[in-house]
Amino acid sequence: MGVKRSKKGVFRLFVDTASRVRIFLSKVRRNLSLYRVKTDTFDEVFVEITSHCNFHCAFCPSDSLQRKKGDLKDEYMMKILSELRDKGKVIAFHVLGEPLLNRNFFKYLSVCDEYHIEAHPTTNMSLITDAVLENILDHPSVTLIQLSFQTSSRESFALRGSAMAFEEYLALLERIVFNRKRIASNCKININVMNDYHCHHDTLWGIFDPERFRQFMGTVEAWKERLVAEGAPAQSPHQSHAGPFYYRTLDEIPEDFYNRADEIHYEITPNLAVFVKHVGKFGMSDAFVDYLNNRKGHPYKLRNIPRRFPFPIPCWAVKAPCVLSNGEITCCCVDIEGTLSLGNIARTTLEEAAKSKKRARVMKSPLLFETCRKCRGRLLFHPQPP
Ligand code: SF4
Ligand code: SF4
């Protein structure tokens, strides 16, 4: 006997199936387009102006970093900015570290304004007061701010090694969201929050609670009306999805989204979104895996199973090279130790690094490289013996 579905259930099934088909087709399109990507240029570069951080998140390799921590030398940053002047490029101020800890941060934003370089800082928000936020928004070069909010409950926030209380952190987020200058600004804000298979299956710290994540999304959803009442631009009813991973109501998000490989955007207003991210992406760093396995109270033992076959699947991440705080230019922001180095900014330029044969090889056939095999591998979690 067939199972009877309610009207809501049928609608949900229809939305889910349509979403799966859309995502599948977009992946095929994206992968095919990667074979045509130019391998000798870039539109965006990640620059780690400091690798120091005032948080100590257990899910971040920051505290197990093998390279020496520090600020990127001012002369290196000025060299990068001069090279990118008037070229229509974007600088994402991030790899690891908190960029606001670099005392030249605002100087670099001013140079970005003057040189017409778009700036996309990523911050853990802890140093953002109203005045700091408004100062950032005064820079026309800043078109996107990534708020690294990550943990949506008191229990998971405890993993971040911060002196703040979660309630204080959430109130800070709310203050940023409802800042009048921000509401009226064209600068986009992404609130990055982690949620994936591991959070839902209790394999990471046993602390991420899907129910608390839903509560957080409900809180954010409730901000929508308030924001529009305070003058935020409302979503246009005529505008359809901006892309297959962009959702504009909570109902549209597939219920099992966390089981999927894709990171998703949930648009609150046109200049504010929640970006749901994956947890386990730093598993290619052996030092980080060892660090987690030796951490007191960590309930699972991790093992990285690298991909074996060097099948030539191109990697989109190589489109945005990175400059680490020690000046090493590497292929992608996941390569936090710089193992895929293309040279040092002290001795080469971004353009030379971008045109290098090594970058073209990593881009076209990443699985020829051990770091990439680990990055594309699987992280396994085994319960630790008590
Ligand atoms: S995740 Fe961000 S805030 Fe946390 S330690 Fe790493 S760089 Fe710092
Ligand atoms: S596969 Fe390689 S190039 Fe691509 S994101 Fe992973 S480490 Fe970077």
151 lines ligand 1 (CB under 6 A): no
Q: What is the pLDDT of residue 125?
A: 97
Give strand pairing partners of 302.
Answer: 381
Q: Which ligand is nearest to the CA of 148?
A: 1
Q: What is the pLDDT of residue 345?
A: 98
Q: What is the pLDDT of residue 247?
A: 82
335 lines ligand 2 (CB under 6 A): yes
| Cβ atoms within 10 Å, residue 305 | 12
366 lines ligand 2 (CB under 6 A): yes
C-alpha of residue 271 to centroid of ligand 1, in Å? 24
| Cβ atoms within 10 Å, residue 86 | 9
- Please give the C-alpha separations between residue 17 and each of 27, 253, 263, in angstroms, as whole numbers: 15, 12, 18
User: Nearest residue CA, atom 8 of ligand 2?
Assistant: 332
Q: At what angle do helices 166-177 and 210-229 cross, to 10 degrees?
A: 30
pTM of the complete model: 0.87
315 lines ligand 2 (CB under 6 A): yes
271 lines ligand 2 (CB under 6 A): no
367 lines ligand 2 (CB under 6 A): no
Per-residue pLDDT of the chain (386 residues; tens, 9 = 90+): 445 667 777 777 776 777 677 767 766 766 666 666 666 789 999 999 999 999 998 888 899 899 999 999 999 999 999 999 999 999 999 999 999 999 999 999 999 999 999 999 999 999 999 999 999 999 999 999 999 998 888 888 988 989 999 999 999 999 999 999 999 999 999 999 987 766 666 666 666 677 788 888 899 999 999 999 998 887 766 555 555 677 888 877 777 777 666 678 888 999 999 998 776 655 667 888 888 788 766 667 778 888 776 566 788 788 899 999 999 999 999 899 999 999 999 999 999 999 999 999 898 888 889 888 888 877 777 766 65
Ranges assigned E (strand) in 203-325 = 246-247, 264-269, 272-277, 300-305, 322-323
Q: What is the pLDDT of residue 237?
A: 60
47 lines ligand 1 (CB under 6 A): no
Question: If 0-12 CB within 10 Å is exposed, 13-18 middle and 19+ buried, where does residue 15 land?
Answer: middle
C-alpha of residue 112 to centroid of ligand 1, in Å? 24
Coil, strand or helix: which one is 368?
Answer: helix
Q: What is the pLDDT of residue 257?
A: 72
User: Nearest residue CA, atom 5 of ligand 2?
Assistant: 317
C-alpha of residue 309 to centroid of ligand 1, in Å? 33
C-alpha of residue 213 to centroid of ligand 1, in Å? 20
Residue 248 is classified by DSSP as: S
- Probe ligand 1: pick from 48, 96, 127, max atoms within 8 Å of CB? 96
Q: What is the pLDDT of residue 2?
A: 47
